[in-house]
């Protein structure tokens, strides 16, 4: 029997929760105890009584939940007020994004927490099953927030993504998406639906071929290079940064100098901000204060974009994480990782050691060999 804690998320405007009542029911059916902080699901429209009906125990405070849980399941990485609640030997299963967060990396090492990151669980195919659903959500949101910030009242160019057809005869806005992975493909889908002219860049020609067939040649696919990015970004009304290197810091692909050459009132949405961002001037923002200006362009760099649609995001995330959570609870973290090589790649820290090479490279911290830890 494993004691599982689910605290309420405290990141700015983060309304997701790590488990749905059905997830609680699955864990309690296997004989585990689940402790939920009161009102943890309120932002996702889940009542405490729904959790109780599924077999959870409701605790009054975050401190109580962290103290009760040997396995803590979250949505977002712990932030500073939560550091002191982590303890040696505790297993933390959540998004960590350590390559962009040296203070948290050092805290997990210092406190000897076993940190298993959703975003580095990786299938043999290269797919990221626990990042996939939130990448879908962020990709779908990016054109929406981009279109909103292109309105003149919010500092934008005053451009409608779909233009005006018929007798209006006004050209569509140009949307440039850097990265043709999950978030980029979903961004293209929504931008097309809104009527925009869409160009997608990637170094992986296979992904560009997939977009050709998926979108019936309505998306222009270009091999990504410094020159190609510079050319397309200067023409763009909206740029969406959707580049991901699993576990590693995102490459900086749009320079300050290039932003200075963009159209006045253009908008840049950085989906990669959780991993440090792929624009030179990107820094994390919040839903409460989502944008800032660089030269004459607006940057949107909210680090928890899917938190804006928590009901959708919570259920999508639990659907993906549940099999892994059950394995961790049933078998214990060590046996679960030994039995599943994909889950093993999620291990980032254990017993005061860093187990992720990309994070070590980002921060200059030595890493232990995963095989030695297991």
The reply to whether 243 sits in an annotated binding site is yes
Say whether pLDDT at 7 is over 90: yes
Token pair for residue 167? 């007798």
User: Span 52-64, mean pLDDT?
Assistant: 97
Residue 15: per-residue pLDDT = 95
Instruction: Report the distance separating Cα 338 and Cα 328, nearest Å.
Output: 11
Residue 158 burial class via C-beta count within 10 angstroms: exposed 0-12, middle 13-18, buried 19 and up: exposed
User: Span 19-43, mean pLDDT?
Assistant: 97
Residue 172: per-residue pLDDT = 92
Q: Judge contact between 301 and 308, C-beta under 8 A.
A: no
The reply to whether 135 sits in an annotated binding site is yes
The reply to whether 74 sits in an annotated binding site is no
Span of 164-178, 260-274, 330-344 with lowest mean pLDDT: 164-178
Is the whole model's pTM more than 0.75, yes or no? yes
User: Span 37-52, mean pLDDT?
Assistant: 97
The reply to whether 10 sits in an annotated binding site is no
The reply to whether 302 sits in an annotated binding site is yes
Overall size of the chain counted in residues: 374
The reply to whether 121 sits in an annotated binding site is no
Instruction: Report the distance separating Cα 169 and Cα 59, nearest Å.
Output: 60
Our CA dihedral for 89, 94, 95, 98, rounded to 10 degrees, sits at 0
pLDDT in tens, 244-293: 888 888 999 999 999 999 999 999 999 999 999 999 999 999 999 999 99
* Percent of the chain with pLDDT strictly greater than 70: 99
Residue 167: per-residue pLDDT = 53
Residue 47: per-residue pLDDT = 97
The reply to whether 244 sits in an annotated binding site is yes
Residue 308: per-residue pLDDT = 93
CA-wise closest residue to 83 among 115, 118, 107, 109: 107
Question: Other CB atoms closer than 10 Å to residue 223's CB: what's the count?
Answer: 11
User: Span 200-208, mean pLDDT?
Assistant: 95
Instruction: Report the distance separating Cα 167 and Cα 144, nearest Å.
Output: 26
Say whether pLDDT at 370 is over 90: no
Q: What Å distances lie between residue 245 and 217, 270, 368, CA to CA?
A: 26, 14, 20
The reply to whether 303 sits in an annotated binding site is yes
Token pair for residue 374? 């297991």
The reply to whether 239 sits in an annotated binding site is no
Residue 310: per-residue pLDDT = 95
Task: Write a three-state SS string for the chain.
Answer: CCEEEECCCCCCCCCCCCCCHHHHHHHHHCCCEEEEECCCCHHHCCCHHHHHHHCCEEECCHHHHHHHCCEEECCCCCCHHHHCCCCCCCEEEECCCHHHCHHHHHHHHHCCCEEEEHHHCCCCCCCCCCCHHHHHHHHHHHHHHHHHHHCHHHCCCCCCCCCECHHHCECCCEEEEECCCHHHHHHHHHHHHCCCEEEEEECCHHHHHHHHHHCCCCCEEEECCHHHHHHHHHHCCEEEECCCCCCCCCCCCECHHHHHCCCCCCEEEEHHHHHCCCECCCCCEECCECEEEECCEEEECECCHHHHCHHHHHHHHHHHHHHHHHHHHHHCHHHHHHHCHHHHCCEEEECCEECCHHHHHHHCCCCCCHHHHC
Q: What Å distances lie between residue 58 and 45, 52, 144, 325, CA to CA?
A: 16, 7, 36, 19
Token pair for residue 207? 């992904």
CA-wise closest residue to 157 among 312, 8, 296, 325: 296
Strand 220-223 relative to strand 353-354: parallel, antiparallel, unpaired? unpaired
Query: Distance between alpha carbon 369 and the CA centroid of its chain, in Å?
Result: 26
Say whether pLDDT at 196 is over 70: yes
Q: Judge contact between 134 and 317, C-beta under 8 A.
A: yes
Average pLDDT of the chain is 95
Domains of the chain: 3-112+311-372 (3.40.50.720), 131-308 (3.40.50.720)
Residues taking part in catalysis: 97, 274
Say whether pLDDT at 163 is over 70: yes
Say whether pLDDT at 168 is over 70: no
């Amino acid at each position: 029997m494993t004691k599982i804690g689910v605290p309420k998320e405290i990141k700015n405007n983060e309304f997701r929760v790590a488990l749905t009542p059905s997830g609680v029911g699955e864990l309690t059916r296997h004989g585990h105890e689940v402790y939920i902080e009161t009102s943890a699901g309120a932002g996702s429209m889940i009542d405490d009584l729904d959790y109780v009906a599924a077999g959870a125990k409701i605790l009054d405070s975050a401190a109580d939940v962290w103290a009760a849980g040997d396995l803590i399941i979250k949505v977002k990485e712990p932030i500073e007020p939560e550091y002191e609640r982590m303890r040696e030997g505790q297993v933390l299963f959540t998004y960590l994004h350590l390559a962009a967060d040296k203070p948290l990396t050092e805290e997990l090492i210092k406190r000897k927490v076993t940190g298993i990151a959703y975003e580095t669980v990786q299938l043999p195919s290269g797919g990221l099953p626990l990042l996939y659903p939130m990448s879908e959500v962020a990709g779908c949101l990016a054109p929406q927030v981009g279109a909103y910030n292109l309105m003149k009242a919010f500092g934008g160019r005053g451009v409608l993504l779909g233009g005006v057809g018929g007798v209006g005869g006004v050209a569509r806005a140009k949307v440039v998406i850097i990265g043709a992975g999950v978030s980029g493909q979903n961004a293209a889908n929504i931008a097309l639906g809104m009527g925009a002219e869409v160009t997608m860049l990637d170094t992986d020609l296979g992904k560009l071929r997939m977009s050709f067939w998926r979108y019936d040649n309505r998306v222009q696919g270009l091999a990504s290079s410094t020159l190609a990015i510079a050319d397309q970004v200067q023409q763009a009304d909206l740029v969406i940064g959707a580049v991901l290197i699993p576990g590693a810091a995102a490459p900086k692909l749009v320079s300050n100098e290039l932003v200075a050459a963009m159209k006045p009132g253009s908008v840049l949405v950085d989906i990669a901000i959780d991993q440090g961002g792929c624009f030179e001037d990107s820094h994390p923002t919040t839903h409460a204060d989502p944008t800032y200006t660089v030269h004459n362009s607006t940057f949107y760099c909210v680090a928890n974009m899917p938190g804006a649609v928590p009901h959708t995001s919570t259920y999508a995330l639990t659907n993906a994480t549940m099999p892994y959570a059950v394995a961790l609870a049933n078998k214990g973290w060590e046996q679960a990782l030994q039995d599943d090589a994909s889950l093993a790649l999620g291990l980032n820290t254990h017993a005061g050691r860093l187990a992720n090479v990309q994070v070590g490279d980002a921060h200059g911290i030595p890493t232990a060999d995963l095989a030695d830890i297991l």
